Amino acid sequence: MKTLHIYLLTQILKNLLLTVLVLTFLFLIGNALRDILKLVATHNVPLKTVLNAFAYLLPFVLVYTLPIAFLTSTILVFGKLSSDLELTAIRASGISLTSFIHPVIALSISFCFLCAWVNLDLGPKGRVAFKNILFQAGQKDLKNLIPEGRFITDFPGYVFYVGKIQDDRLSNVLFYQITNGKKMVDIRSASAQLINDPSSETLLLRFFKPTIFTRKSGGISSLYSNTPDSTSQTNNPIPSPDNFQSLSESPSADWRALYTGQLDFPIPRPNSSAFRKAKLSEMTLTQLLKELNSLKLSGLPDADLLPIKIQLHEKLSFSFASLGFTLVGIPLGIQSHRKDTSSGIAIALILMLVYYALLIAAKSLQSFTSLQPHLLIWLPNLIFQSLGTFLIHKKNSS
């Protein structure tokens, strides 16, 4: 039995190493080639910088290639064992399938912790370092400078969030004014614009048709208390409180809702280090937890914290996806009765598409806060693990 287990693990590790190398090379070229060619073409960067860029991006690419590689190697090895009738001979000697595969299950669990280390620490750090190289080389793309998809807390008294950036247009913008740890003003706008005046030391954040929630005890005038004194340089200064109109319905007894056609707000230029910080998908586990606790202390409601919770649970769940992939890959590899590489890769890609489809479906329920969408992120793992366990039991008893 020990000899069989060593043989099985050797085959898994050999295929795993080869698959990781091939997939990592393909993913690395696909993710980095455009940005690095742009560096070389427009900024004439030295070879050392190019090599550093590839090296920093490597851990980020491994986040995705490691689980796929383990799934592919599992399917390939068990497909070959089944095709060569080695598995039939093993079972004819009285060794059950579950006894034979338990070292692979143990290896996949250990592999999950390796994936967690890469996914929760090395990958995000590498991605941030890669983007810093782009920034230092002169890449002034707004997406590299102002992080989308994360709460920005680098300005005392303010918290804001940008869902999407397209050129100078911002979508799904949230803006809060925090006073003494308490939210006093809440601005929400589906569309905004970032206006860049080279002669000014600030950028102008222009909200279009924003809805503004203010505490009745504070009033809209509190919005101006910490505003940088740069509105005199714009053609559209912040409207006076008299220009705001009240909505017919107040959201609560403590809050009143106002709206205006346009609201301009100056912010510091994005050449500061504050705007080069990682967005949520590029944060480590420690950074995500720190961000979550900080925003909780700022008085933000749980619904506004969902993006952080979803990102946190997505990183954790994907780190342990290898176990589900292994449980499903073993019976599918046996069933395929194929030892050719192309069939194994095709099956692995189909399974990955199914996994990501389930993950996207779970993330699409983000607006249904009562369903705890951050916990639904674990649903693809549970489905794969349950299905794999059922198929292995069925194969073992057949």
Instruction: Write out the H or E segment, with its range, that includes residue 145.
Output: helix 142-145
pTM for the full model?
A: 0.63
**Segment 102-125, tens digit of pLDDT:** 899 999 999 999 999 999 999 889
Q: Report the SS3 class of residue 194.
A: strand
Measured CA angle at 235 (ends 234, 240), to 5 deg: 90
**Segment 203-213, tens digit of pLDDT:** 777 889 888 88
Q: Which of 213, 226, 239, 238 is nearest to 155 (CA)?
A: 226
Asked if residue 52 lies in contact with residue 131, where contact means CB atoms within 8 angstroms, the answer is: no
List, as own/partner pairs, every contact residues 373-382 make where C-beta atoms lie below 8 angstroms and the sequence separation is at least 24, other chains included. Answer: 373/306, 373/310, 374/306, 374/309, 374/310, 374/312, 374/313, 375/313, 377/310, 377/313, 377/314, 377/317, 378/313, 378/317, 380/317, 380/321, 380/324, 380/355, 381/317, 381/320, 381/321, 381/323, 381/324
Average pLDDT over residues 280-298: 86
- Which of 4-18, 70-84, 343-357 is the least confident region? 343-357
**Residue 152: pLDDT band by 50, 70, 90 thresholds?**
confident
Average pLDDT, the chain: 78
Torsion sign across C-alpha atoms 86, 89, 94, 97: positive
- Which of 3-7, 232-236, 294-298, 341-345 is the least confident region? 232-236
Strand partners, 186: 176, 213
pLDDT higher than threshold 50 for residue 16: yes
Q: Which residue has the higher pLDDT, 99 or 181?
A: 99
Torsion sign across C-alpha atoms 378, 355, 312, 157: negative
**Residue 218: pLDDT band by 50, 70, 90 thresholds?**
low
Q: Which of 111, 122, 25, 119 is nearest to 70 (CA)?
A: 111
